[in-house]
Every structure is written in structure tokens, then in C-alpha cells.
């Protein structure tokens, strides 16, 4: 697909949504300013003109309303895909997501389930003002009953949407804002994911397994390429952070004997901690060096001028990779 390779992530998401709406009348989009404006990131640009205001719905400015009504719409037979404007604003919807969407299956006696996607633009690197550059995916990844994805490419994003619509249960779909308009390099097809929820091997390697996800995948890949003459790094993009494809990570770590986990969000209580703990439990005897984790300190995302010191940078990963193998 040469065409998709030259697309930005934003354009690719737009085409995926258009394709899904074209193929299935039950798909509806809900969010603040997604229709007339095309979303604050223009990800849904043009969709309302094509599919009409009934299916591309500019909602009231109320996140609980967005997710709450989508739950009801899903129960009525639709396939709603919601957009939260920025991840800093998903908390008003947290009650509907956590106490309702995530628990519906059990409460309805296992007879019903939701096809519900909540897209959440997330992360820093675009000089966002307060609450416009956070990474809160770990909070929701900790909630049983939710599946949480954080893809880094348009192809993976499409795969997440396909999985979410084909299989029951709500999905939170995090989107890396700083990759929206980047010309993302083509996804290496070397090792295709073993199954739809599996890790993707972005770069095969033999010396160390670098596990990451979201926008950090590109940073990590660049760092791996930079140290290639000294360290052969295997880069895994988790794609799904709940459930995590632990088997895929363990298989790689058993080969390389080393693990570095990199995430943009706070290190504490995070996705990386879960990966590290699982490797320590199940691949301890394969390890040649201590597991290493990198992430933000346990502090709120700072003003944009200080982001550089808060979020893991390319140079930090380069240094860590050299240290892990030494």
C-alpha cells in the first residue's frame, strides 16, 4: 500500500474512519467539534460532509454525555466511535467508562456487550498548554473490562479499530498527537504481529529487547538505529497496553536476555512496570542484566518549556541502550 505509506497518521485515521462508515451504517462518530470543524486536530475533516450530521455528531461540551450516550447507542445496535478532545479532558467521562462501559458485560449476565471505541488524542511534544499534553493511559489500562490500545502507525490504528468493532468489549484508543502530522516511516513488514492483539516487532535484534508504544516507538526506533553498530536492538511496539501481549515480550527477552522498557507517561504504576514485573516473574533465568525502565518522573506534566526534562528523550534512550549491554 504505497499510498498509505505517504499518509500522515491523521490522514490515515481519517481514511480508516471513512472506510468503516462506508462499509457499515451502524458506525457513528461522536465528539466535540468533530463535524463542522473536523475536530481540533482535523482528524475527522470532511466526514460530516460525506456522512451527514446524524452519523458524525457534534456533541454538547460534556464528556460524560459523549460516552454515556454512546453506551446507550451501542446497546441500541450502533457501533459508536467517540472522540475525547484531549486526554486531559477524559476524566469527566471516567465514571461512564469505568463503572458502566467496563462492567456492562458482567452486569448484563454476559448476554450483551458493548462495541464502543473512545479515541483519545494524547501525549506531549507539541507545546501544549496545561492538560493538553498528558499521558494518562496507565490509569485506564489498570481497569478490568477495558481494552486499551496505543498504536503508533496508521496501519496499527486501523487494526485496532477492526478488532474493536469485530470483537465485544469497549476499547480506549489512544492516539499520539505528535505523530498526527509526521510523515511516519513505513511499518517494517519483516515480522508481522502473531495475532491482532500481539506486539509488533518494529526492528528485529539480538542484544536487547526494547519495549515501547505510542509516539515513543519512533523515538526508540531512531535511538536503536543510532546505536546499531554497537548494540543490536529488537524494538517491540506493544500496540495494546491492556491486555499486554506478554507472550510476545517474553519470547523476545528469552532470546536477547535483556529488557529496556520506555514510556512517555510516569514510570510509577505504569505499563512498563507491568512488563518488567512479568519478565522478572517468567523470564528471570534468561536475563543477562537487570531490567531497565524509562519514563517520566512522578510529577504532573510540566509547562512546555520543561517537557524536555520530563519526557524521555532520544539521547536518554541511546545512553540507556549502551549501559544495558555494558
Q: Which residues are tagged catalytic?
A: 132
* Interaction between residue 106 and another protein (CB under 8 A): yes
Least distance to another protein, CB of residue 92, Å: 8
| HSE-CB for 38 with a 13 A CA cutoff | 13
Footprint of another protein on residues 74-103 (CB under 8 A)?
A: 74-78, 92, 95-96, 99-100, 103
Identify which range of 73-81, 119-127, 165-173, 220-228 contacts another protein by CB under 8 A.
Answer: 73-81
Footprint of another protein on residues 44-63 (CB under 8 A)?
A: 54-55, 60, 62
> Per-residue string for binding with another protein, 8-47, x by CB under 8 A?
------------------x-x-------------------
Distance between CA atoms of residues 59 and 229, nearest Å: 52
Least distance to another protein, CB of residue 85, Å: 16
Least distance to another protein, CB of residue 89, Å: 14
Q: Which of 56, 70, 202, 266 binds another protein (CB under 8 A)?
A: 70
Least distance to another protein, CB of residue 57, Å: 9
* Interaction between residue 157 and another protein (CB under 8 A): no
Distance between CA atoms of residues 27 and 74, nearest Å: 10
* Interaction between residue 111 and another protein (CB under 8 A): yes
Identify which range of 69-77, 215-223, 228-236, 269-277 contacts another protein by CB under 8 A.
Answer: 69-77
* Interaction between residue 144 and another protein (CB under 8 A): no
Q: Which of 181, 180, 130, 136 is nearest to 306 (CA)?
A: 130
Q: How far is CA 172 from CA 34, 60, 66, 243, in A?
A: 18, 20, 14, 12
Residues that bind another protein (CB under 8 A): 26, 28, 54-55, 60, 62, 64-65, 67-78, 92, 95-96, 99-100, 103, 106-109, 111-112
Amino acid at each position: 500500500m504505497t499510498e498509505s505509506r505517504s499518509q500522515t497518521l491523521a490522514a490515515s485515521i481519517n481514511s480508516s474512519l471513512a472506510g468503516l462508515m462506508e462499509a457499515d451504517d451502524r458506525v457513528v462518530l461522536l465528539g466535540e467539534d468533530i463535524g463542522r470543524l473536523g475536530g481540533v486536530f482535523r482528524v475527522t475533516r470532511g466526514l460530516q460532509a460525506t456522512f451527514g450530521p446524524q452519523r458524525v455528531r457534534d456533541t454538547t461540551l460534556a464528556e460524560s454525555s459523549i460516552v454515556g450516550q454512546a453506551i446507550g447507542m451501542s446497546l441500541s445496535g450502533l457501533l459508536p466511535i467517540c472522540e475525547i478532545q484531549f486526554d486531559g479532558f477524559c476524566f469527566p467521562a471516567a465514571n461512564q467508562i469505568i463503572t458502566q462501559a467496563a462492567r456492562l458485560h458482567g452486569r448484563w449476565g454476559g448476554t450483551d456487550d458493548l462495541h464502543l471505541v473512545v479515541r483519545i488524542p494524547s501525549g506531549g511534544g507539541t507545546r501544549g498548554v496545561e492538560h493538553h499534553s498528558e499521558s494518562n493511559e496507565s490509569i485506564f489500562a489498570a481497569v478490568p473490562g477495558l481494552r486499551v490500545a496505543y498504536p503508533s502507525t496508521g496501519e496499527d490504528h486501523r487494526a485496532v479499530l477492526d478488532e474493536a468493532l469485530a470483537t465485544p468489549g469497549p476499547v480506549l484508543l489512544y492516539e499520539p498527537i505528535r505523530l498526527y502530522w509526521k510523515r511516519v516511516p513505513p511499518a517494517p513488514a519483516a515480522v508481522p504481529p502473531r495475532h491482532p492483539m500481539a506486539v509488533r516487532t518494529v526492528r528485529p535484534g539480538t542484544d536487547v529487547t526494547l519495549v515501547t508504544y505510542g509516539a515513543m516507538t519512533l523515538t526508540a526506533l531512531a535511538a536503536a538505529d543510532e546505536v546499531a553498530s554497537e548494540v543490536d536492538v529488537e524494538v517491540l511496539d506493544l500496540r495494546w497496553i491492556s491486555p499486554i501481549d506478554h507472550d510476545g515480550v517474553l519470547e523476545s527477552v528469552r532470546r536477547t536476555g535483556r529488557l529496556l522498557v520506555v514510556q512517555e507517561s510516569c514510570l510509577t504504576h505504569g505499563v512498563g512496570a507491568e512488563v518488567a514485573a512479568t519478565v522478572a516473574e517468567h523470564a528471570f533465568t534468561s536475563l543477562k542484566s537487570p531490567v531497565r525502565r524509562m519514563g517520566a518522573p512522578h510529577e504532573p506534566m510540566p509547562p512546555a518549556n520543561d517537557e524536555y526534562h520530563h519526557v524521555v528523550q532520544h539521547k536518554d534512550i541511546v545512553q540507556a541502550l549502551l549501559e544495558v549491554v555494558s
